[in-house]
Structure 1
Amino acid sequence: MMDGEACSPMMENNHQMEEKTVPISCVRKILRWCRKNLLLVLTIAGVCLGVFLGFLLRLAAPSKDTIMLISFPGEILMRALKMLILPLIVSSLIVGLSALDAKSSGRMGIRTLVYYFATTFAAIIVGIILVLCIHPGDPVLKDETIAGSKSSKLTSLDALLDLIRNIFPSNIVQACFQHEKTAYKNVTIPKKQIIYVPLEDGNRTYDILNNTLGSLANITVSNETSTTTILPENMTKIIVETMETVEIRYFPYADGINVLGLITFCVGFAIILGQMGPEGQVMVKFFNILNDIVMKLVVLVMWYSPVGIMFLIAGKVLELEDPSEVGRRLGLYIITVITGLVIHAGVTLPLIYFVICRKNPLKLFQGVFQAWLTALATASSSATLPVTFRCLEENMGIDKRVTRFALPVGATINMDGTALYEAVAPIFIAQMNGIDLSFGQIVTISLTATCASIGAAAIPSAGLVTMLMVLTSVGLPVEDISIILAVDWFLDRIRTSVNVLGDSYGAGVIAHMSRFELAAMDHVQDYQIELNSIEKELQDLDQMTDNENKPIKEENNVYSKR
Structure 2
Amino acid sequence: MKSRRRDEVVQFCRENTLLVMTMFSVFLGVVLGFGLRPLNLSQETLQLINFPGEIFMQVLKMMILPLIFSSLISALAQMDAKESGQMGASTVLYYLSTAILATLLGIFLVTVIHPGDPSIKGTEIAEAPSEGNVSPLDTFLDLVRNMFPENIIQATFERMQTTYVAIRPKIASKNGTNIIVKRSIGMTKGMNILGIIVFCTGFGIVISQLGERARIVVDFFVILDAVIMRWVVTLMWFAPLGITCLICGNLLELDDISDIASVLALYVFTVCAGLVLHTIITVPLMYFFITRENPLPIFKGMIQAVVTAFGTASGGATLPMSMQCLEDHCGVDRRISRFVLPLGSTINMDGNALYEAVAVIFIAQLNNVQLSLAEVLTVSITATIASIGLGSVPAGLVSILLILNTVGLPVRDVSMLFTVDWLLDRVRTAVNVLGDAYAASVVQHLLQKKLDKADARHDYKAEIKGEIELLKSAATSRRPSFTMSEASKELFLTQARSEGNSRIGSRIGSRRPSSTNLHLSWRNNPIDPPYTPLPNDENV
User: Could you say which TM-score interval applies, normalised by the shorter chain?
Assistant: 0.7 to 0.9
Alignment of 1:173-212 (within 5 A): 173-191=153-171
Alignment of 1:256-275 (within 5 A): 256-275=190-209
Structure 2 SS opposite 1:99: coil
> How many Å separate the matches in 2 of 1:498 and 1:423?
16
Alignment of 1:51-66 (within 5 A): 51-66=30-45
Please name the residue that 2:427 is paired with: 494
Aligned AA (2:440): A
> How many Å separate the matches in 1 of 2:258 and 2:236?
34
Contact 1:406 1:503 in 2 (8 A): yes
Structure 2 SS opposite 1:191: coil
Once the two structures are TM-superposed, the CA of residue 142 in structure 1 deviates from its matched residue by 2.1
1:162 matched to 2:95? The reply is no
| Aligned match for 1:472, one of 402, 405, 419 | 405
Deviations 1:168-210 (A, max 9, x none): 11111100111011112233442168xxxxxxxxxxxxxxxxx
> How many Å separate the matches in 1 of 2:166 and 2:44?
36
Please name the residue that 1:237 is paired with: none
Contact 1:326 1:487 in 2 (8 A): no
Structure 2 unaligned blocks of 5 or more: 464-485, 495-540
Once the two structures are TM-superposed, the CA of residue 358 in structure 1 deviates from its matched residue by 2.8
> How many Å separate the matches in 1 of 2:166 and 2:284?
50
| Aligned match for 2:262, one of 328, 334, 340 | 328
Please name the residue that 1:32 is paired with: 11
TM-score if structure 2 supplies the norm length? 0.83
Deviations 1:454-512 (A, max 9, x none): 01234642x12211111111111122211211111111111111111111111111111
Please name the residue that 1:172 is paired with: 152
In structure 2, relative to structure 1, the CA distance for the partners of 1:494 and 1:145 (3 Å cut) is farther
Structure 1 SS opposite 2:164: strand
Please name the residue that 2:76 is paired with: 97
Please name the residue that 2:106 is paired with: 127
> How many Å separate the matches in 2 of 1:42 and 1:25?
23
Deviations 1:281-330 (A, max 9, x none): 11111111111111011101211001100010000110121254453231
> How many Å separate the matches in 1 of 2:310 and 2:331?
23
Aligned AA (1:455): G
Once the two structures are TM-superposed, the CA of residue 67 in structure 1 deviates from its matched residue by 1.1
1:373 matched to 2:352? The reply is no
In structure 2, relative to structure 1, the CA distance for the partners of 1:141 and 1:242 (3 Å cut) is closer
In structure 2, relative to structure 1, the CA distance for the partners of 1:511 and 1:344 (3 Å cut) is same
> How many Å separate the matches in 2 of 1:147 and 1:364?
43
| Aligned match for 2:51, one of 36, 61, 72 | 72
Aligned AA (2:361): I
Alignment of 1:500-539 (within 5 A): 500-526=433-459
Once the two structures are TM-superposed, the CA of residue 446 in structure 1 deviates from its matched residue by 0.8
Deviations 1:375-417 (A, max 9, x none): 1111111111111111101121210010011101111111000
1:291 matched to 2:225? The reply is yes
| Aligned match for 2:24, one of 45, 53, 57 | 45
Once the two structures are TM-superposed, the CA of residue 367 in structure 1 deviates from its matched residue by 0.8
> How many Å separate the matches in 1 of 2:236 and 2:460?
38
Once the two structures are TM-superposed, the CA of residue 262 in structure 1 deviates from its matched residue by 0.7
Alignment of 1:131-150 (within 5 A): 131-150=110-129
Aligned AA (2:9): I
Please name the residue that 1:230 is paired with: none
Aligned AA (1:470): I
> How many Å separate the matches in 2 of 1:310 and 1:171?
38
1:251 matched to 2:185? The reply is yes
Aligned AA (1:124): T
> How many Å separate the matches in 1 of 2:100 and 2:124?
32
RMSD: 2.2
Structure 1 SS opposite 2:204: helix
Please name the residue that 1:385 is paired with: 319
TM-score if structure 1 supplies the norm length? 0.80
In structure 2, relative to structure 1, the CA distance for the partners of 1:243 and 1:443 (3 Å cut) is closer
Deviates more, 1:322-331 or 1:51-60: 322-331
Count of aligned pairs between the two proteins: 468
Aligned AA (1:182): T
Contact 1:191 1:244 in 2 (8 A): no
Aligned AA (1:177): F
In structure 2, relative to structure 1, the CA distance for the partners of 1:166 and 1:49 (3 Å cut) is same
Structure 1 unaligned blocks of 5 or more: 1-21, 194-239, 531-535, 545-562
Contact 2:57 2:317 in 1 (8 A): yes
Contact 1:381 1:500 in 2 (8 A): yes
> How many Å separate the matches in 1 of 2:124 and 2:343?
39
Once the two structures are TM-superposed, the CA of residue 243 in structure 1 deviates from its matched residue by 6.9
| Aligned match for 1:309, one of 229, 243, 258 | 243
Aligned AA (1:515): Q
Deviations 1:52-92 (A, max 9, x none): 11111112110122111101111111101100010111111
Structure with the bigger percentage of strand = 1
In structure 2, relative to structure 1, the CA distance for the partners of 1:139 and 1:158 (3 Å cut) is same
Structure 2 SS opposite 1:182: strand
Contact 1:190 1:242 in 2 (8 A): no
> How many Å separate the matches in 2 of 1:394 and 1:253?
39
Deviates more, 1:72-81 or 1:322-331: 322-331
Once the two structures are TM-superposed, the CA of residue 515 in structure 1 deviates from its matched residue by 1.6
Alignment of 1:305-454 (within 5 A): 305-322=239-256, 324-454=258-388
Structure 2 SS opposite 1:262: helix
Higher alpha-carbon Rg: 1
> How many Å separate the matches in 2 of 1:283 and 1:323?
56
Deviates more, 1:474-483 or 1:405-414: 474-483
Aligned AA (1:260): L
Once the two structures are TM-superposed, the CA of residue 46 in structure 1 deviates from its matched residue by 0.5
> How many Å separate the matches in 1 of 2:278 and 2:68?
27
> How many Å separate the matches in 2 of 1:139 and 1:95?
55
> How many Å separate the matches in 2 of 1:81 and 1:28?
35
Contact 1:379 1:459 in 2 (8 A): no
Aligned AA (2:241): V
Contact 2:166 2:181 in 1 (8 A): yes
> How many Å separate the matches in 1 of 2:325 and 2:390?
24
Please name the residue that 1:455 is paired with: 389
Contact 2:455 2:462 in 1 (8 A): no
Displaced runs of 4 or more, over 6 A: 240-243, 527-530
> How many Å separate the matches in 2 of 1:268 and 1:56?
52
